[in-house]
Amino acid sequence: MMLEIRKKQIVTTRKKHECYGCVEEIEKGKSAVYVSAKEDEKHIQFHLHEECNKTIAKDKWFSGSGLYRGCIKEAVKNSEELKSINISSLDELPFVLGLQKGLGG
Ligand SMILES: [Zn+2]
């Protein structure tokens, strides 16, 4: 699934919209980025927070197949998961697994 961005413009929202990147609400009366895109020969339109648009513009990964509904939310979630993995050291892992087994049985 390829998403090809055709047009981007800054607009002031006249009603609430869902941000395509983080799936959070864009409030009425805020400036947001309105995007026209083509996805599998189909034309789609969506809104992005200005911040989310910056994230997409900065990160080349999003400009290809990495751009999809909720992609920023996923990216944030993934980076948080990575951080939490880094905190627990590998030495602790056998202990945690043993504990879970004991509780489950
Ligand atoms: Zn957003």
Higher pLDDT: 14 or 92? It is: 14
Q: Which of 50, 37, 35 lies closest to 1, judged by CA?
A: 37
Q: How far is the CA of 24 from the centre of ligand 1 (A)?
A: 6
Amino acid identity for residue 8 in this structure: K
How far is the CA of 97 from the CAs of 59, 71, 86, in angstroms? 37, 32, 17
Domain that holds residue 33: 3-104
Q: How far is the CA of 35 from the centre of ligand 1 (A)?
A: 13
Could you tell me what percent of the chain has a pLDDT over 90?
48
pLDDT band at residue 3 under the 50/70/90 scheme: confident
* Tens-digit pLDDT profile for residues 44-87: 999 999 999 998 888 876 766 678 899 999 888 888 887 776 65
| First-residue to last-residue Cα distance in the chain | 44
Q: How far is the CA of 98 from the centre of ligand 1 (A)?
A: 41
Q: How far is the CA of 14 from the centre of ligand 1 (A)?
A: 17
For every residue of 38-54, DSSP letters joined together read EETTEEEEEEEEHHHHH
Higher pLDDT: 95 or 22? It is: 22
Ion ligand 1 neighbours (CB, 5 A) are: 19, 21-22, 49, 52
40 is written with which tokens?
């599998």
Q: How far is the CA of 49 from the centre of ligand 1 (A)?
A: 4
Q: Which of 47, 25, 22, 24 lies closest to 34, judged by CA?
A: 47
The whole-number pLDDT of residue 57 equals 85
Q: How far is the CA of 105 from the centre of ligand 1 (A)?
A: 43
Q: How many domains does the chain have?
A: 1
- CATH label of the domain that carries residue 22: 3.30.1740
Q: How far is the CA of 78 from the centre of ligand 1 (A)?
A: 16
